[in-house]
Chains A and B, each alone.
Chain A
């Protein structure tokens, strides 16, 4: 989104009023943007500066002095098994969610794009969880995953399987979190894909049919390429969104059992506010920030290219 904006940044209107008001206009401009930019400065930009410094210190959030330790926190993080596990969990979570959002999201969008009775109601139901509280949804699913009395046991029982103790089993906790996260957010990628599908010009399909393309060929050669900007958008937003996942994990597993569901944000929360290792938490936050920045910059470059060639 950011680059779209940059594209139009240059054609902002010249402003209202004659030359004589120039100076007063400047003051009014400042007055208008000041509250927003003061808050942005204090709570968005300054924290990043301060945090870069904190990440080079050892500090328990209480003692009056911070000990400068250089890059030690980063070295310890990348060298230790604990953080490697956190990175692995984060990529496991994000990768699976990404795959699910694209495959299931596209599948759902295609289905909901057919002329079927009741599709509008299904669209709404699929989308609704996106805007519901993650804490609430986490609790509903904690009950569904209850190994003895939960709904999941019924489902698995129907196909002859027994239920794992989802949230207390190190193997099954992460899949459970992924299922809940996907269930909650799938409606978003489905609706975005649906908008993408509806933007594909119908004459492309007509042309493909005239050329004798099979339905599968027109899906491969018309639908998929036409959707590639949409897919790209979903890839970026899904990665950024799942890097930030917190409330479902906080409610359902608290990063456990052991470290099985500790992702980056949960880790930095625990380091900072439970273990009181401010330097370590700050370093983890900086690493998370750089990862997310990299994803955003790829998006920016991609959009710039598109703007150039289209």
Chain B
């Protein structure tokens, strides 16, 4: 906060001769703060990356080694084999892919129906959809575990995927966007005999690309990182997903092979890091969508 004040002070003294000195000092301060901020956020990630290449001697030494002298690339294959990470990766890819797919299909169909189809009491249905936002998954883990157990779906992909396959928020985002689309275009296609699925697929979705991409990205991030539900609904090692597999490597009692743990951490976060670098703007706009539209 001080910074704006300082900077603005610098500006408002435009007529005074001290102006340049103040502005200079203010902006130096700002750069110092900017650098500090960058360090606070970069250093832990840098620490993770360099530690993934450290051997035991370089881990267990103080003061710590910042950059390993002989990078131990073998930490990566070691980490991969320290737990069945191939299996964890496959499991996470499957649950993420189908979880996201079902969520987006549900969101698109629901939003389309709510905007373009007639039904008595449509508003009530919309409210029922929104009310689901008030029930977070953490609150329902116990009864949902019982349901999945009763269905015989513990330690199965459908057990991990289906409870998270319904969607309220993305359906809401899509609905808001669909409302802005020109109906005339749809009417015309309708008169030429196109069915609703065709309208959705050929006209509505292509016109909603940015919202759709945002919804997909948010969903991918959430499913990839999901921890609590997969932890509860699986207990066999070969059905675990990446974040849980990762937690197996950490020994709270100490004597941790940090080099290997950090290497494992890196291949868990890497796909999301790449996604972020590639589609940063979409992800951010989606995550703050609720804020700016409120």
| Docked complex: A238-283 residues within 8 A CB-CB of B | 240, 243-244, 246-247, 250-251, 253-254, 265, 268-269, 272-273, 278, 281-282
Contacts of B179 in A (CB 8 A): 8, 11-13
- B171-192 vs A, Cβ < 8 Å mask (1 yes, 0 no): 1100110010001001100100
Q: Does B43 contact A (CB under 8 A)?
A: yes
Q: Select B165's contact among A11, A39, A144, beta carbons within 8 Å.
A: A39
Q: Select B138's contact among A12, A125, A133, A246, beta carbons within 8 Å.
A: A246
Q: Does A191 contact B (CB under 8 A)?
A: yes
A47 to B139, CA, bound (A): 9
Q: Does B215 contact A (CB under 8 A)?
A: no
| Docked complex: A129-160 residues within 8 A CB-CB of B | 129-136, 138-144, 146, 148-151, 153-154
Within the complex, the shortest CB–CB distance from A70 to chain B, in Å, comes to 19
State whether A12 touches B294 (Cβ < 8 A): no
Contacts of B133 in A (CB 8 A): 1-2, 296
Contacts of B169 in A (CB 8 A): 1
Q: Does A78 contact B (CB under 8 A)?
A: no
Q: Select A132's contact among B31, B135, B242, B269, beta carbons within 8 Å.
A: B269
State whether B225 touches A134 (Cβ < 8 A): yes
Contacts of A138 in B (CB 8 A): 247
Who on chain B is nearest to A10 by CB? B123
- A174-185 vs B, Cβ < 8 Å mask (1 yes, 0 no): 000000000100
Interface residues on A, range: 35 or more
Q: Select B196's contact among A14, A26, A28, A127, beta carbons within 8 Å.
A: A28
A191 to B26, CA, bound (A): 23
Most buried by B among A4, A40, A254: A40
Q: Does B206 contact A (CB under 8 A)?
A: no
Say whether, besides A33-B109, A140-B48, A251-B247, A188 and B139 are in contact (CB < 8 Å): no
A242 to B4, CA, bound (A): 29
Who on chain A is nearest to B280 by CB? A124
Inter-chain contact total with CB atoms closer than 8 Å: 359
A266 to B171, CA, bound (A): 30
State whether B166 touches A135 (Cβ < 8 A): no
State whether B288 touches A191 (Cβ < 8 A): yes
Contacts of A218 in B (CB 8 A): 8
Who on chain A is nearest to B136 by CB? A244
Who on chain A is nearest to B58 by CB? A149
Known: A36-B107, A285-B140. 19 other contacts (CB 8 A): A2-B131, A13-B115, A29-B117, A36-B110, A51-B143, A111-B34, A122-B38, A125-B42, A126-B37, A131-B272, A133-B242, A133-B243, A135-B227, A143-B258, A149-B60, A187-B41, A233-B294, A282-B143, A285-B139
Q: List 9 A-B contacts (CB under 8 A).
A: A32-B110, A47-B144, A122-B34, A125-B45, A136-B269, A139-B265, A191-B287, A268-B141, A269-B141
Task: Report which A residues bind B (CB closer than 8 A).
Answer: 1-2, 4-6, 8-17, 22, 25-26, 28-30, 32-33, 35-37, 39-40, 42-48, 50-51, 54, 61, 106-108, 110-114, 116, 118-119, 121-122, 124-136, 138-144, 146, 148-151, 153-154, 167-168, 183, 187-188, 191-192, 195-196, 199, 209, 214-216, 218-219, 223, 229-230, 233-234, 237, 240, 243-244, 246-247, 250-251, 253-254, 265, 268-269, 272-273, 278, 281-282, 285-286, 288-289, 292-293, 296, 303
